[in-house]
Amino acid sequence: MSNTEQNKQLVDRFIQELFSQGDLGAIDRYLAPTFVDHDPPIPDAPNGQEGLRRAAAMFREALPDWTSTVVRFVAEGDLVVEQFTATGTHKGTLMGVPGTGEKLTLRGMNVFRIEGDRIVERWGQLDDLGLLRQLGLA
């Protein structure tokens, strides 16, 4: 298996374990201690591992059946681009909005940089406006 394919599998395992299975321990298994998140997914979260851990916990608490589906992976060298669609049932408070019982969908893209067997950097673009509209905040 090529290094590129190994990197794609590493990112896929990380995403599935963290977001689809809700295993916060995936942060420690897959992210380097020096991990840098260039676009933290929630405001006021610390950079690095802890910020991503908080984001994952927030989504899992508000949407207990949260599942991330990979639309496509593109990889070259030490970079893996993931396009995804995530869905879940809004049962808990999210962004100040109490659970509605409605299904929410979040689309986005992430770029991960890999060193060895760890993710060391992430850049992301989420459809924040689409999520805000579903929550009735936009």
Q: What percent of the chain has pLDDT over 70?
A: 100
Instruction: Indicate the pTM of the whole model.
Output: 0.92
Which range of residues forms the domain containing residue 109? 3-134
Closest CA to 18 of 113, 84, 94, 98: 84
Structure tokens, 43: 């405001």
Q: 23-34, pLDDT tens digit by residue?
A: 999 999 999 999
What's the CA gap between 81 and 91, in Å, rounded? 30
CATH number at residue 50: 3.10.450.50
Contact 92, 61 (CB under 8 A): yes
The total domain count for the chain is: 1
In the prediction, which pLDDT does 80 show? 98
What's the CA gap between 138 and 121, in Å, rounded? 30
User: Is the pLDDT score of 92 beyond 90?
Assistant: yes
Task: Note the maximum CA span of the chain.
Answer: 46
Identify the band that residue 6 occupies on the pLDDT scale cut at 50, 70 and 90.
very high
Burial of 30 (0-12, 13-18, 19+ CB in 10 A): buried
Taking residues 43-57, report their average pLDDT: 89
Closest CA to 24 of 63, 53, 59: 53
**Placement of tokens 């995403």 in the chain:** 15
Taking residues 79-86, report their average pLDDT: 97
What one-letter code names the amino acid at 52? L
Between the alpha carbon of residue 82 and those of residues 3, 118, 119, the distances in Å are 16, 16, 13
The whole-angstrom distance between residue 132's C-alpha and the CA centroid of its chain comes to 17
Taking residues 106-132, report their average pLDDT: 96
